């Protein structure tokens, strides 16, 4: 079916994430066709059922642990089989920084999921969009990648690497009419951050999702989620290292 005649088709990788599930609701409410992947089958089924009652034109699901790279190609192929307008890559894991410091294997595992396996999947998605000369590839990185901090620099390094990857990819696929949207949330109240002290600047997943949906649909290059993290991070990046190293952040 021609792209303009069929419902918008959206792939969400890591669709059981609290933020991604809210983004999926926004697309479902607009009658989109959704292709969802998630690691946990029961949670994925719950998200699917929710989206069906919210108006999704169709919902397809695939159980995927992103570290299971042998399955990337078949999942990408299936998602593109019906034409694809948007891919949102949302999975991620916040490692325990203390454990990463004590155990190099733990640091490597955090980089493996948040950067290496994610880059492998994005490479396949980008190549398909580029070959079709249309589409939007949106990826959730983090403000944590804007400056390394002692409290989460392994996670921050993965997200920084991912952001730079997306920057280069954006330049590469621009000529083919493909958009790459880098999404940088600040603190969002989700299961990932539930064990951390509440941040006064924290957003709800729903608020974050609204900003993410707008950024994707307007094909923004880099969106801070919510917007105020852009000036906050500009200030943090501007601090000289000689001062920054003394701060307890
Ligand atoms: N919350 C924040 O403050 C914040 C800030 C900046 C950026 N982010 C980013 O936002 C994204 C969404 O996170 P969230 O805050 O919504 O947290 P969340 O609800 O805990 O979602 C994290 C998701 O990642 C999935 N995941 C983890 N490892 C995976 C793997 N190996 N394969 C497939 N899926 C895997 C989890 O699946 P399971 O359901 O199976 O666990 C879960 O669906 C992440 O990329 C995160 O780094 C979050």
Contacts of 66 (CB under 8 A, 6+ apart): 13, 14, 39, 91, 113, 117, 118, 121
Q: Is 150 in the pocket of ligand 1 (CB under 6 A)?
A: no
Give mean pLDDT, residues 178-191.
98
Rounded distance between C-alpha atoms, residue 24 and residue 205, angstroms: 12
In this prediction, residue 7 carries a pLDDT of 80
Q: Is 155 a catalytic residue?
A: yes
In this prediction, residue 82 carries a pLDDT of 82
Question: What order of strands is seen across the sheet that includes strand 136-140?
Answer: 58-63, 33-38, 9-13, 86-89, 136-140, 179-185, 222-225
Rounded distance between C-alpha atoms, residue 152 and residue 68, angstroms: 25
Rounded distance between C-alpha atoms, residue 156 and residue 119, angstroms: 15
Q: Is 232 in the pocket of ligand 1 (CB under 6 A)?
A: no
Q: Is 222 in the pocket of ligand 1 (CB under 6 A)?
A: no
User: How far away, in angstroms, is 94 Cα from ligand 1 center?
Assistant: 8
**Shortest-distance Cα residue to atom 44 of ligand 1:** 92
Share of the chain above pLDDT 70, in %: 98
With CA atoms as reference, report the closest residue to 161 among 109, 118, 221. 118
The per-residue pLDDT for range 229-249, each reduced to its tens digit, is: 999 999 999 999 999 999 988
User: How far away, in angstroms, is 64 Cα from ligand 1 center?
Assistant: 13
Rounded distance between C-alpha atoms, residue 140 and residue 194, angstroms: 18
Peptide bond into 226 cis (omega under 30): yes
pTM of the model: 0.97
Distances (CA, A) of 159 to 71, 146, 218, 240: 23, 8, 23, 21
The per-residue pLDDT for range 130-171, each reduced to its tens digit, is: 999 999 999 999 999 999 999 999 999 999 999 999 999 999
Q: Is 18 in the pocket of ligand 1 (CB under 6 A)?
A: yes
Residue 38, pLDDT above cutoff 60: yes
């Amino acid at each position: 079916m021609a792209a303009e005649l069929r419902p918008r088709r959206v792939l969400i990788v890591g669709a059981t994430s609290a933020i991604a599930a809210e983004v999926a609701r926004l697309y479902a409410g607009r009658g989109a066709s959704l292709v969802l992947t998630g690691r946990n089958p029961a949670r994925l089924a719950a998200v699917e059922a929710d989206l069906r009652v919210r108006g999704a034109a169709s919902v397809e699901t695939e159980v995927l642990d992103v570290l299971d790279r042998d399955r990337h190609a078949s999942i990408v192929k299936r998602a593109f089989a019906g034409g694809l307008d948007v891919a949102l890559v949302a999975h991620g894991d916040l490692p325990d920084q203390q454990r990463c410091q004590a155990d190099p294997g733990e640091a490597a595992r955090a980089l493996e999921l948040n950067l290496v396996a994610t880059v492998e999947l994005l490479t396949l998605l980008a190549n398909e969009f580029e070959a079709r000369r249309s589409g939007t590839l949106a990826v959730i990185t983090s403000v944590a990648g804007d400056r390394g901090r002692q409290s989460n620099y392994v996670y921050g390094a993965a997200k920084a690497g991912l952001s730079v990857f997306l920057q280069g990819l954006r330049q590469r696929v621009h000529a083919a009419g493909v958009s790459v949207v880098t999404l940088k949330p600040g603190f969002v109240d989700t299961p990932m951050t539930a064990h951390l002290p509440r941040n006064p600047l924290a957003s709800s997943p729903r608020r974050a999702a609204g900003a993410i949906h707008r950024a994707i649909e307007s094909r923004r290059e880099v969106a801070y989620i919510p917007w105020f993290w852009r000036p906050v991070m500009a200030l943090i990046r501007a601090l000289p290292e000689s001062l920054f190293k003394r701060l307890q952040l």
